[in-house]
Amino acid sequence: MIKNTNGKTGLFIPGPTNIPDTVRQAMNVPMQDMRAPDFGDLTLPLFADLKKVFKTETAEVFMFPGSGTAGWESCIGNLFSPGDRVLMSSFGQFSMLWVDMAERFGLNVDHCEVEWGLGVPLQQYREILEADKNHEIKGVFACHNETATGVTSDISAIRQILNDLDHPALLCVDGVSSVAAIDFRMDEWGVDVVVSGSQKGFMLPTGLAIVAVSQKALEMRGRATLPRTFLSYDDMMKTNVTGHFPYTPATQLFHGLRSSLDFIFDEGLENVFARHHRLASAVRAGVHAWGLQLCARDPEIYSDTVSAILVPEGFDSGEVLKTAYYKYNMSLGAGLNKVAGRVFRIGHLGDLNEIMVLQALAGSEMALRDCGINIELGSGVAAAQETFIDAAPQLHTIAA
């Protein structure tokens, strides 16, 4: 197939997300000396403002060159030892990969395998932790927002279980596709480690693993015996105190992050969450108008950053993606692993507005019809429009 190259490609994957022009332009700066005495003028305010996004006052924030996967590895490598018992669950591609990483590092994983389309198994977590009378479990891991299936789990409920049982395990959370787009309350929820990435809610290119670590977790790092160098919290803390880094950092991305954080704070963090919910609700209304189903099994766990949409039996979601890409110049998210060929994903996070969501739905409708899936053209768009009309912020008339 020959791709239609007119105009801009519609980007509706769950990351990398669309980048505001102001953020892209902010990264177009000359190279600078990362060891200059005033480099902290750029970086120290970033550390402080990232705490506001994580909603923490006491955690230490790290910015590693890398993706969210590097953030996962930093958590395991700095805080655990081979043979440590940890509690984890998998219910999608990314929660599954974190389990795989822990096992490769030699951790003793209590692995709760859950049907894809569901979330963290709270009752199973409670039963396992309650049976752990000697507190052998050193860490409880959870994926806040499973990007592969469009499922958001209740992190505060996990903390409540730990509190109810007076269990000292660290609570470690993958927030890669939730932080800066879905409300995340590190201090209130008692989260010890949260991992995020620059390419999702922060509206930047891939390249920063942004990790927040509680003081409780930092106090425990001395007992960890796994080797770490590039991702060492100790090495970072020694230099971060003045805004510097133990090796060459991603300076251009720091300039972009400064612009991105300003963008977020200008909109208002709570307004950012409300916008993502509004856009997600419209996508879900469109999907239901088509007569299709989401991979997420329960409205209570629907994600506000990505919707994984099941195609009918006998159809291949991969063909929907190819058609959308080549014929309509639009990128949708692929189904991964267990849901490959069964779902396509619409990412609705980052620099996104109502009209862009309607574009995603309109393009998806045409691609679905081209692939022989019987939906009524315009039905999803119309349902989303109704949602927007009902839920969009009211316009304020400016007096002449």
pLDDT in tens, 114-171: 999 999 999 999 999 999 999 999 999 999 999 999 999 999 999 999 999 999 999 9
Q: Which SS3 state, helix, strand or coil, does residue 350 take? A: coil
Confidence (pLDDT) at 392: 67
Mean pLDDT of 313-319: 97
Q: In what order do the strands lie in the sheet with 306-310?
A: 10-12, 330-334, 343-347, 306-310, 293-294
pLDDT at 400 over 80: no
What pLDDT band is residue 393 in, cutting at 50, 70 and 90?
low
Which amino acid appears at position 101 of this protein? M
Residues in a beta bridge with 293: 310
Contact 310, 292 (CB under 8 A): yes
Residue of higher predicted confidence among 77 and 8 = 77
How does pLDDT run across 74-88, given as a tens digit for each residue? 999 999 999 999 999
Residue 240 DSSP class: H
Confidence (pLDDT) at 311: 98
* Number of CB atoms found within 10 A of residue 278's CB: 20
Detail the DSSP E strand segments found in 14-102.
60-66, 85-90
pLDDT at 186 over 90: yes
Distance from chain centroid for Cα 292: 25
The answer regarding whether domain 31-265 maps to CATH 3.40.640.10 reads yes
Task: Report the C-alpha gap between 373 and 52 in whole angstroms.
Answer: 45
Q: For residue 395, how many C-alpha atoms fall within 13 Å in the half-sphere facing its CB?
A: 5
Contact 39, 33 (CB under 8 A): yes
**Angle formed by the axes of helices 68-79 and 233-240, nearest 10°:** 100
Which residues in the chain are classed under CATH 3.40.640.10? 31-265
How does pLDDT run across 246-275, given as a tens digit for each residue? 999 999 999 999 999 999 999 999 999 999
Domain spanning 10-17+268-391, CATH class: alpha beta
Confidence (pLDDT) at 399: 46
For 277, residues 6+ apart whose C-beta sits below 8 A from its C-beta are 304
Give CA separation, 15 vs 202, 335, 346, 373, in Å. 10, 14, 10, 26
Q: Which SS3 state, helix, strand or coil, does residue 11 take? A: strand
Per the document, the length of the chain is 400
How does pLDDT run across 349-366, given as a tens digit for each residue? 999 999 999 999 999 999
Task: Report the C-alpha gap between 178 and 201 in whole angstroms.
Answer: 7
Q: Supply the mean pLDDT for the chain.
A: 96
* Number of CB atoms found within 10 A of residue 162's CB: 19
Confidence (pLDDT) at 258: 98
Q: List phi, psi (to 5°) of 88.
A: -140, 165
Give CA separation, 17 vs 206, 226, 232, in Å. 10, 34, 28
Task: Report the C-alpha gap between 91 and 115 in whole angstroms.
Answer: 6
Contact 156, 122 (CB under 8 A): no
How does pLDDT run across 380-392, given as a tens digit for each residue? 999 999 999 988 6
How does pLDDT run across 20-73, given as a tens digit for each residue? 999 999 999 999 999 999 999 999 999 999 999 999 999 999 999 999 999 999
Which residues in the chain are classed under CATH 3.90.1150.10? 10-17+268-391
Tokens of 143: 């994926």
Task: Report the C-alpha gap between 297 and 220 in whole angstroms.
Answer: 37
Minimum mean pLDDT range among 92-101, 276-285, 390-399: 390-399
